[in-house]
Structure 1
């Protein structure tokens, strides 16, 4: 799978590169293609830190990254290095007390706060008090107003002139006192393409191994999670989701682990592992695997096999993992810490779990049959699984 990022340099007054604004892209088309702000930033972070080499991407300078209201309030930027990641806040944010407290907390923690495309309206003014830098679209604000704003705040705030398109504009911005410059005059956003390879995340495998110990070492698990940006982000979102029934905002990996608990955490690590392979072309396949997993779990419960419900769940979840990864099932199973009964099921052996899985798969193929309609119990299980999958796909 190919992944993309666009970067546009930001220069200082000596025309040295101060940093790069990183922009999410879905293809080689060098423009934004409709993803909501939170998801776009999450994908950008994943691509910049997990797929590409971040230090090479920024040439060991600084990265300017936009964050949505939700990500700021959830303090997601704290998962990133404070010295090299500058937090951009768009003019579209809703300025609330909760948002302001989150931004103050980030600034207190050492992060640089940048107001992007800033508009000096009354409702945005509280953000100026917590800003380190302000970006102004050079051609979209009266020059006299720009000069007045720079003179008023220059003692505590650095200013970036963006969308500078000509030499004359650059010289005007220099004369007005801008500290940094960005725009087509210097460079258009440059596309960078990389390849994301399908593999089992080694951190997820390590966590699963630790979770399967008789007495799991939660501190060791926390340390593994804390080193994985993508996993930390996903667990924090999960712990704060309506699905888990949170009462208070969870802002640390340790609290997220406590909120989830041992059994739920193990299950969700497997779900995260599966969803890591999600692309447009296999989205329905992953959805079917999740439905199958939940149905297997519910069947086990209905048959009085509570002790085996997690194993039934995993057998359903990974029943198509070979197709998703384009690898042999025997090779994938060898990498996963699964019980022997689950291994046997996935590798085509004969046991009760395999018979249940085959039965569900057969019903999937004949879902409109008269027998299916008459099986009220199985239909109830299917509808419950469908609702569960709809919930987790929002996380």
Structure 2
């Protein structure tokens, strides 16, 4: 799948590139086509950090990234390296005590702050005291006001002139005392296209393993999610969904896990895993893999091997992963947190798990006679096997898949 990010350079007074503003694009059209600002920023960050080579995208400089009020409250900036980003506070954000405290927290952690499309008002004074850069839309704000602003705060903060479109504007802005410059006069945003490779999210798999423990370690789960920007954003969105019927906002991953509870977390994790690799063509195969995994888990209990039910489950779920992501199975299992026996079963080595997986696949293909006998499979009667199969189907349906 093709993904896009636009970058526009920001120059200092010596015409050296100080950084790049990263802008959301969903095609080669060089203009904003989004609707949800938070989602646009999340996709921009995902594409820049996880799909493309970030250092090449910014040429080793800083990335200026817009953050909505929602993303600030979720503390999403804290998931990114402070050494390479500048947090842009959008002009449409309502300046509240909460926003001021969040900005104070970001500053204390070493992040740079920029006030975007700035127009002075008294409510901004606390942010001006913390800001590293103030961005002013040069052609919009009255030049007298720009003079006053720069003269008053030039010793505390750097100023960036946005939307410089002519040499005359650049010369005027430079004489005013601006430190940085950005606009069409220097360069229009350049669209960078990358290709997102379909792959399994390892963090989701690690969370699944934790949730399948008798006593899940929620601290570990929290740490896994907090290290993954995409998961953090999605989990907080789910936890704050109106569907959960709560009037209280959730601002941390721990709070989100508590609100959702184990069953809902499991449901969310599986849906996220499916969504990330699902296409129209592979939807039914994903469903089959889930049924296969749950059936094998039930069979572990039937065979008095409940202590290995997670291994049975993982073997079934990932039995067709090579087809789903179009990669060699041997390469895939090297990257997955699987036990030796699960990995061996997936690549086709003969062991107990592989024997049971092959039997399940034979059953799916109506080759019951290929198993031990007409009436039993590894000592499990056809009736008990069918009951387990129906329970597996029911479980997948309950996932709202």
TM-score by length of 1: 0.72
Q: For residue 52 of structure 1, what is the aligned residue in structure 2?
A: 52
Q: For residue 84 of structure 1, what is the aligned residue in structure 2?
A: 84
- What's the secondary structure of 1:187's corresponding residue? coil
Q: For residue 11 of structure 2, what is the aligned residue in structure 1?
A: 11
Whole-Å separation in 2 of the counterparts to 1:244 and 1:124? 35
Task: Flag the 1:319–1:259 CA change in 2: closer, same or farther, 3 A.
Answer: farther
Residue 322 (structure 1) shift: 8.0
Structural mapping, 1:120-139, within 5 Å: 120-121=120-121, 127-139=127-139
Q: For residue 41 of structure 1, what is the aligned residue in structure 2?
A: 41
Q: For residue 23 of structure 1, what is the aligned residue in structure 2?
A: 23
Whole-Å separation in 1 of the counterparts to 2:320 and 2:145? 61
- What's the secondary structure of 1:136's corresponding residue? strand
- Asked whether the 8 Å contact 2:76–2:229 carries over to 1, the reply is no
Residue 43 (structure 1) shift: 0.5
Q: For residue 233 of structure 2, what is the aligned residue in structure 1?
A: 233
- What's the secondary structure of 2:100's corresponding residue? helix
1:356 to 390, 394, 397: 390
| Bigger Rg, which one | 2
Task: Flag the 1:348–1:8 CA change in 2: closer, same or farther, 3 A.
Answer: same
Query: Do structure 1's residue 151 and structure 2's residue 185 form an aligned pair?
Result: no
Identify unmatched segments of 5+ residues in structure 1: 298-306, 361-377, 390-395
TM-score by length of 2: 0.71
Q: For residue 366 of structure 1, what is the aligned residue in structure 2?
A: none
- Asked whether the 8 Å contact 1:19–1:64 carries over to 2, the reply is yes
Query: Do structure 1's residue 188 and structure 2's residue 222 form an aligned pair?
Result: no
Q: For residue 100 of structure 1, what is the aligned residue in structure 2?
A: 100
- Asked whether the 8 Å contact 2:206–2:337 carries over to 1, the reply is no
Q: Deviations over 1:286-337 (max 9, x none)?
A: 69989x989xx9xxxxxxxxx9xx99x9999999988864679999899697
Whole-Å separation in 1 of the counterparts to 2:275 and 2:187? 36
- Asked whether the 8 Å contact 1:162–1:181 carries over to 2, the reply is yes
- What's the secondary structure of 1:276's corresponding residue? helix
Whole-Å separation in 1 of the counterparts to 2:203 and 2:262? 17
Whole-Å separation in 2 of the counterparts to 1:47 and 1:276? 14
Structural mapping, 1:59-74, within 5 Å: 59-74=59-74
Q: Deviations over 1:181-238 (max 9, x none)?
A: 1112221111111111111122322332343344444444444334323223333333
Q: For residue 176 of structure 1, what is the aligned residue in structure 2?
A: 176
Count of aligned pairs:
356
Whole-Å separation in 2 of the counterparts to 1:354 and 1:322? 26
- What's the secondary structure of 1:81's corresponding residue? coil
How large is the Cα RMSD of the aligned pairs? 4.5
Task: Flag the 1:331–1:178 CA change in 2: closer, same or farther, 3 A.
Answer: closer
- What's the secondary structure of 1:152's corresponding residue? helix
- What's the secondary structure of 2:106's corresponding residue? helix
Residue 357 (structure 1) shift: 8.3
